[in-house]
Copies of this chain bind each other. A is one copy, B any other.
Amino acid sequence: MKAAIYHGREDVRVEETEPQSLGPADVRVAVGACGICGSDLHEYAEGPIAIPEDEPHPLTGETLPLTIGHEFAGRVTETGADVDAPVAGDTVVVNPIIGCGECQYCTAGEHSLCDRLMNVGIHGGGGGFAETVVVPAENAVSLPDDLSPEDGALVEPLGVGLHAVRRSGLSAGDTAAVFGAGPIGLAVLQSALAAGAREVYVSEPRAARRELAEQLGATEVVDPRTSDPVRAIKAATDGGTHTAFEVAGVDETLTQAVRTTRKTGTTVVVSVYEAAATLQPNLVMMGERNLVGSYGYRGGPSSRQGEFATVIRMLQDGRLDADPMITGRIGLDDIVEEGFERLRDPESDHVKILVTP
């Protein structure tokens, strides 16, 4: 089968590879759509970062080259001997997080906090930029008939956004500020509105993303290259927002986000940082502000009360909308030129590009 294989920085090759073997508790998924994530782009442009290079991943035992892609949905084509559900023919979205199952976090059901965490499509175990992927059946979450595999491919980033809003403690009627309107920032925006935010302000340098934020319901968008977002948002909210979301991953926006919150406000760090940031702790101390981290999503891979299942429900009833975030659809062969290279262009209007293997 064909797969996009990561060999190193700026070296992703679409190659023929052997389909993975199927264990008794696994299912094989024929990928219908797989989104290119910001972290895929980071790995392409500046990696390997999380992709294991020399040291084999503790759970997968793999190092590069390996197949990437972790935001995907598709159809089950084969199931292991011990698998009752899903069955062949079901459309599923894959929850890519797998913990060791043994540590204090996994045994408490908090797999996303496992120190040896594996992400299918980052750390090994195949990936969504391939014709098929084999995953544990419990990580294959059924998609209802009214949702497409394209909706399914957006469940993962929408889950990250939902989890961030849940971590913020945002109450109905609160105000929010979102720094960065890429796919995760827009997912945060949607979840903040779904949570009853009274106003959501978005700071984003790219015009196309600001427009999309407005289309998705942002109260006001700010271009941080032409005006000070902290000053603008504090003025609009009479002193600062209840919550802020750092979804840009740059030093400056961490302080901007914290300063934008009112005293006692909460800033959620959603981005990965490549280096340490500077922060004056007095902003936290004297304002009794809160800085909290949000990583992935919670609630067990296929739990009905988990955040993956919640996103699916919210896509069904329209509180979340995948479609406006999808700005490109390409084939697997075009993943480098029409995918990674387009997204790394700072003038690009793209938000989420889906790959159809």
Contacts and interface: CB of A to CB of B under 8 A. Distances in A.
Interface of A: 104-105, 110, 112-113, 167, 238-239, 246, 254, 262-264, 269-273, 275-295
Given A284-B269, A288-B294, A113 B275 contact: no
B291 A284 contact: yes
Q: What is the copy number of this chain in the assembly?
A: 2
A288 B167 contact: yes
A283 B291 CA distance: 11
23 contacts: A104-B262, A105-B263, A110-B264, A113-B288, A167-B288, A246-B281, A269-B281, A269-B285, A271-B285, A272-B282, A273-B280, A273-B285, A276-B278, A285-B293, A285-B294, A286-B295, A287-B293, A287-B295, A288-B292, A288-B295, A289-B293, A290-B291, A291-B291
Contacts of A295: 285-288
Contacts of A246: 281
A351 B292 CA distance: 33
A295 B283 CA distance: 11
Contact of A284 (B112, B263, B283, B292): B292
Contacts of A269: 281, 284-285
Contacts of A263: 105, 110, 113
A281 to B, nearest CB: 5
Contact of A113 (B104, B105, B264, B284): B264
Given A113-B288, A269-B285, 15 more contacts: A112-B288, A269-B281, A272-B282, A272-B285, A273-B281, A273-B285, A276-B279, A277-B281, A284-B293, A285-B294, A287-B295, A288-B293, A288-B295, A289-B292, A289-B293
A284 to B, nearest CB: 4
A244 to B, nearest CB: 13
Contact of A278 (B262, B278, B288): B278
A290 B287 contact: no
Contacts of A292: 284, 288-291
A283 to B, nearest CB: 8
Given A239-B104, A264-B113, A286 B293 contact: yes
Across the A-B interface, give the 5 residue pairs with the lowest CB-CB distance, nearest first. A284-B293, A285-B293, A291-B291, A276-B280, A269-B285
A294 B282 CA distance: 10
A248 to B, nearest CB: 11
A282 B273 contact: yes
Contacts of A104: 238-239, 262
Contact of A254 (B262, B272, B281, B294): B281
Contacts of A289: 292-293
Contacts of A281: 246, 254, 269, 271, 273, 276-277, 293
A293 B266 CA distance: 11
Nearest to A249: B281
B285 A270 contact: yes
Nearest to A270: B285
A63 B120 CA distance: 62
Contacts of A110: 263-264
A58 to B, nearest CB: 16
A277 B275 contact: no
Contacts of A238: 104
